[in-house]
Amino acid sequence: MAFDAEIRAALIEQVRRFVTEKCVPIEAQVADDDAVPQSVVDEMKQLGLFGIAVPEEYGGLALDMETECLVAFELGHTSPAFRSVAGTNIGIGSQALVLFGTEEQKSKWLPGIASGDLIASFALTEPEAGSDAASLTTKAIRDGDHYVLNGTKRYITNANKADLFTVMARTDLSKPGAKGVSAFVVERNTPGVSVGQPEKKMGQQGAHICDVIFENARVPVANRIAGEGEGFKVAMSVLDKGRLHISAVATGVSERLIKEMVNYALERKQFGKPIMDHQLIQAMIADSQAETYAARCMILDAARRRDAGEDVTMLASCTKLFATEACGRVADRAVQVFGGAGYVTDYGIERFYRDVRIFRLYEGTSQIQQIIIARELARAAKAGNL
Ligand code: COS
């Protein structure tokens, strides 16, 4: 569904104003406090940000992927910790339900996810199952009308605030790989579910990741998403979309950093003139702009194709690989253009430098994206479709 151009422009403008007026001025405070103020979270709720990827019949804005990416570019214009508040509701925490949930499951949870009253989280990674997600060992053993879950999930974004988790767990112990995995909605208040302390991390203070531990947690069979053994595919489909969204956030941050670089380079004088007039500075800024523009075009193209019903597994990996690696280079150049000031906390550039490092890791490392791209190309060639 193509989104009405006027509604879309109005929404983008609202998000832009919110980011500029409410988020940018308190970036340092959020990093120092390691928390996004409740008033800002409330405003995100009012804007409908928690529900942008939830269908209208469940209270969401039902944005198409292209519009979601345009919103994500805007959210990237400030510290990524702000986006993370609603990030799991927009993406990996809600989309298993949106894409594969039954009517009953959707009407039970999606309205709360859309309004932001329920925080949803995605629990795939484990201490011994990161890139090799199909090797997960959390068990879900059927016992009458329930599954009994045991295991530990690791680095789960927003786990400390989550009301429900999409959990991938092994229902068939005789099948070691992807085929033995099923997906479940697990409510936080289920006896036997506990959440660890937030990890101390390199960046994105204000956003949190924790362990989630299941000890004989009994989850109703009705909470299983899709069929037994289909959980890995559910997770991968969710990540296809999530990777496009993260690409757009990273590219938004690149755009912000280019603006910071240009403004600083016009002000800062060395050798008797603004450093913007020095060609080696120009080269760093120009390379950043060219790469960011390329990322933006790739993302919008992949998003439109997804909206048109195409399989975008490979394209999502291409955008995630390119946009997040480009963002890393842009952040590095931003520190370089700022010189000593780039290393000093007050200027905020070193914070972005740390914040963006995770983009190349979560929702699949750059190396996993390369593997997926190569795998899809080989598949297409074997099928005579290349
Ligand atoms: N959409 C739907 N189904 C998919 C899929 C996708 N994007 N990708 C894979 N599948 C299916 C495959 O078709 C296969 O099913 P069949 O055997 O019926 O064909 C099944 O899932 C297993 O796929 P595959 O054999 O490719 O699995 P691998 O174990 O080789 O792993 C990678 C694939 C490496 C791509 C996967 O483990 C991965 O993405 N790892 C990174 C995990 C990640 O992003 N973690 C971040 C945590 S969330 S912040």
Among candidates 350, 316, 330, 157, which has minimal Cα distance to 248? 316
For ligand 1, atom 22, the nearest C-alpha belongs to 178
Helix (H, G, I), strand (E, B) or coil at 57: helix
pLDDT in tens, 168-188: 999 999 998 999 999 999 999
Distance 43 CA to ligand 1 centre (A): 36
Instruction: Return the number of other C-beta atoms located less than 10 Å from residue 18's C-beta.
Output: 21
Cβ 200 vs Cβ 209: under 8 Å:
no
- Look up 57 and say whether it is catalytic: no
Pocket of ligand 1 (CB under 6 A): 122, 124-125, 131-134, 177-178, 232-233, 236-237, 239-240, 313, 362-364, 368, 371-372
Q: In residues, how long is the chain? A: 386
Distance 305 CA to ligand 1 centre (A): 21
- Out of 153, 166, 232, 379, give the residue to mutate to test ligand 1, the one with the largest number of ligand atoms within 8 Å of its CB: 232
For ligand 1, atom 6, the nearest C-alpha belongs to 236
The backbone region for 268, taken as left when phi is positive above 0, alpha when psi lies in -120 to 50, beta otherwise, is beta
Helices (H), 19-61: 27-33, 38-47
Cβ 63 vs Cβ 3: under 8 Å:
yes
Catalytic pick among 27, 66, 126, 363 = 363
pLDDT value of residue 4: 82
Domains, in order of start, for the chain: 5-115 (1.10.540.10), 120-228 (2.40.110.10), 233-382 (1.20.140.10)
Distance 348 CA to ligand 1 centre (A): 37
Whether residue 321 is predicted with pLDDT greater than 70 in this model: the reply is yes
Ligand 1 atom closest to residue 239's alpha carbon, by position in its atom list: 44
pLDDT in tens, 332-385: 999 999 999 999 999 999 999 999 999 999 999 999 999 999 999 999 999 999
pLDDT in tens, 130-181: 999 999 999 999 999 999 999 999 999 999 999 999 999 999 999 989 999 9
Burial class (CB in 10 A: 0-12, 13-18, 19+), 92: buried
pLDDT value of residue 207: 98
Question: What residues form DSSP beta bridges with 120?
Answer: 164
Cβ 254 vs Cβ 330: under 8 Å:
yes
pLDDT in tens, 274-291: 999 999 999 999 999 999
Which positions ≥6 away from 6 have C-beta within 8 Å? none
Distance 236 CA to ligand 1 centre (A): 5
Ligand 1 atom closest to residue 134's alpha carbon, by position in its atom list: 29
Work out the angle at residue 218's Cα, subtended by the Cα atoms of residues 217 and 223, and round it to the nearest 5 degrees.
115
